[in-house]
């Protein structure tokens, strides 16, 4: 039997994961050679190029949202995982406590300091700063200008002589009652002044992060060393607060939903997903459309499936039975990348792509080595 090439509808249908009342259907991708007899599903970069697109929804330094369309989950997930765990950032790694008479224990203080996100000149952070190699046991640390950033925090809480005698607010009664991230001072070494000065200075992303509270006589005097690291080692090195994707929801209304039902249907979805439109004379005139005799009534239409949460609420109601189909587009990923501030959100994604490429390249070289 000669093979019939799949129709456009068939190809679209293959992309949809069914979300039913109690079950899900067609969960795995089927675009592999041999899955459909007679069809060519071999990997072809030109075909991928034609089918792949990127769409931005938001692109701010601290938050970006975009869709990758026409890509497999395994690749999309690799990007997500790399963004969280493999894109390097600079964070406080060592804290040298000279004096800490606050109520926060040294180790807790060190941990808090480590989690503060810092930022600085991009060129210095990516190109100038290199990995810090932990010295072998017993060897002295090798802290150089190209692998270590030094910081200092030196605050002492004292009485404020000018405070009102009836004052009860500690921040007015004392100097430095609260220690904030902005109290941390960057101490450039060597060539670091060339890369991290002016607006490129190493600084906390948010100056108002509370580190500790002090009372008169208490003081914190610590030095800190920052190194480059990756999220797989410690979450403080992760460049993102969240990097996640949702799969594009689809809502297909198969039979007209009219009048009061349409309003109820709208309420089954988040705001803006379902719209209400008047049935036109044209539609009402069309035989077998289901709109006959309903001219002027309200009908439910899908306006913005992207905002849907796929709660399946609509499937619970008898009146919508067989009138709606919910699903998801298997190859449409809506990413949300929230940067902690050291990288721009879109740059984190680009870095994840080049990281995957570098990984594949290194392993290709290794494979050639292995064969030799």
Partner 1 sequence: MAARPDSEDIAMDDAPTSHQPEVKDDTMVDDAGEDVEEEEDYEEEEEEEEVQRVKLLPGSTETAASFEFSNEGHTLGNALRYVIMRNPEVEFCAYAIPHPSEAKMNVRIQTFEGTTAIEALEKGLRDIQELCDVVTDKFVAAADDFEKKKAATA
Residues 69-98 that bind partner 1 (CB under 8 A): 71-72, 74-75, 77-79, 81-82, 85-86
First to last CA, the chain: 47
364 lines the binding site for partner 1 (CB under 8 A): yes
Q: Which of helix, strand or coil describes residue 245?
A: strand
235 lines the binding site for partner 1 (CB under 8 A): no
Tokens 């769409």 belong to residue: 55
Q: Which of 267, 239, 247 is nearest to 338 (CA)?
A: 239
Stretch that binds partner 1, among 11-19, 28-36, 156-164, 290-298 (CB under 8 A): 28-36
Residues 36-65 that bind partner 1 (CB under 8 A): 40-43, 45, 48-49, 52-56, 59
Whole-angstrom distance, CA of residue 192 vs CA of residue 200: 10
For residues 5 and 217, which CB has a smaller minimum distance to partner 1 in the complex? 5
346 lines the binding site for partner 1 (CB under 8 A): yes
- Is the Cβ–Cβ distance between 147 and 228 less than 8 Å? yes
68 lines the binding site for partner 1 (CB under 8 A): yes
Rg over CA atoms, the chain: 29
Stretch that binds partner 1, among 6-14, 17-25, 33-41, 169-177 (CB under 8 A): 33-41
Residues 112-151 that bind partner 1 (CB under 8 A): 130-131, 133, 136, 142, 144, 146
369 lines the binding site for partner 1 (CB under 8 A): yes
322 lines the binding site for partner 1 (CB under 8 A): no
> Which bin fits 176, alpha (ψ -120 to 50), beta or left (φ > 0)?
left
For residues 10 and 142, which CB has a smaller minimum distance to partner 1 in the complex? 142
Q: Which of 15, 3, 13, 89 is nearest to 39 (CA)?
A: 3
Whole-angstrom distance, CA of residue 371 vs CA of residue 366: 9
The CB-side HSE value for 97 (13 A sphere, CA atoms) comes to 15
**Residues lying near partner 1 in the complex (CB under 8 A):** 31-34, 40-43, 45, 48-49, 52-56, 59, 66, 68, 71-72, 74-75, 77-79, 81-82, 85-86, 130-131, 133, 136, 142, 144, 146, 346, 349-350, 353-354, 356-357, 359-361, 363-364, 366-371
């Amino acid at each position: 039997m000669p093979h019939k090439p799949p129709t456009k509808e068939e190809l679209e249908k293959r992309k949809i994961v069914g979300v039913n009342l109690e079950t899900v259907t067609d969960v795995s991708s089927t675009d592999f050679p041999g899955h459909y007899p007679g069809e060519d599903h071999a990997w072809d970069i030109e075909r991928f190029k034609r089918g792949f697109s990127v769409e931005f929804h938001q692109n701010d330094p601290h938050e970006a949202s975009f869709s990758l369309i026409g890509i497999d989950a395994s690749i999309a997930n690799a990007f997500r995982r790399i963004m969280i765990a493999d894109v390097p950032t600079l964070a406080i790694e060592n804290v040298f406590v000279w004096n800490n008479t606050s109520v926060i224990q040294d180790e807790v203080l060190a941990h808090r300091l480590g989690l503060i996100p810092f930022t600085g000149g991009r060129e210095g952070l990516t190109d100038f700063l290199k990995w810090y190699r932990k010295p072998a046991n017993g060897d002295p640390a090798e802290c150089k200008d190209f692998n270590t950033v030094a910081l200092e925090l030196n605050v002492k809480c004292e009485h404020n002589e000018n405070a009102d005698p009836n004052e009860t607010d500690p921040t007015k009664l004392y100097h430095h009652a609260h220690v904030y991230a902005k109290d941390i001072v960057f101490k450039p070494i060597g060539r670091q002044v060339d890369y991290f000065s002016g607006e490129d200075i190493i600084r906390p992303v948010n100056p108002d992060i509370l580190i500790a509270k002090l009372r008169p006589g208490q003081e914190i005097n610590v030095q800190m060393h920052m190194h480059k690291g990756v999220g797989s080692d410690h979450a403080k090195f992760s460049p993102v607060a969240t990097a996640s994707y949702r799969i594009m929801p689809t809502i297909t209304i198969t039979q007209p939903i009219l009048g009061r039902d349409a309003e109820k249907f709208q309420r089954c979805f988040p705001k803006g997903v379902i719209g209400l439109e008047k049935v036109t004379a044209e539609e009402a005139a069309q035989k077998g459309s289901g709109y006959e005799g309903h001219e002027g009534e309200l009908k439910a239409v899908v306006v913005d499936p992207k905002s849907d949460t796929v709660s399946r609420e609509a499937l619970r109601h008898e009146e919508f039975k067989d009138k709606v189909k919910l699903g998801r587009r298997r190859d449409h990923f809506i990413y949300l990348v929230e940067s902690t501030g050291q990288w721009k959100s879109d740059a984190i994604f680009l870095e994840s792509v080049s990281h995957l490429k570098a990984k594949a390249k290194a392993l290709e070289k290794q494979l050639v080595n292995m064969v030799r």
